[in-house]
Amino acid sequence: MDDDFIEEMFSGFCKNFNETRTVICEFVKRDGQIRLESAGCAYGKCPHSKTCILMEQAREMETP
């Protein structure tokens, strides 16, 4: 079965850059599950990744 790819844009405040940013995120839908594949920022490596308000929007799109 082929994977479906979803691209979404999210805007919000970035603590790392101390400014409003727009981030493009790519998700993959596989076996009914949606997972974040990549983000156009340093999410995951950024020191604020765990508390990032901007990327919270993207995490809400993921399925458990």
Name the pTM for this structure: 0.87
Quote the domain boundaries for residue 17: 4-61
Strand partners, 14: 19
Give dist(CA 47, CA 60) in Å, integer.
Answer: 20
| Tens-place pLDDT, residues 15-48 | 999 999 999 999 999 999 999 999 999 999 999 9
For the chain, give the longest Cα–Cα distance. 42
- Total domains present in the chain: 1
pLDDT tens-digit map of 8-23: 999 999 999 999 999 9
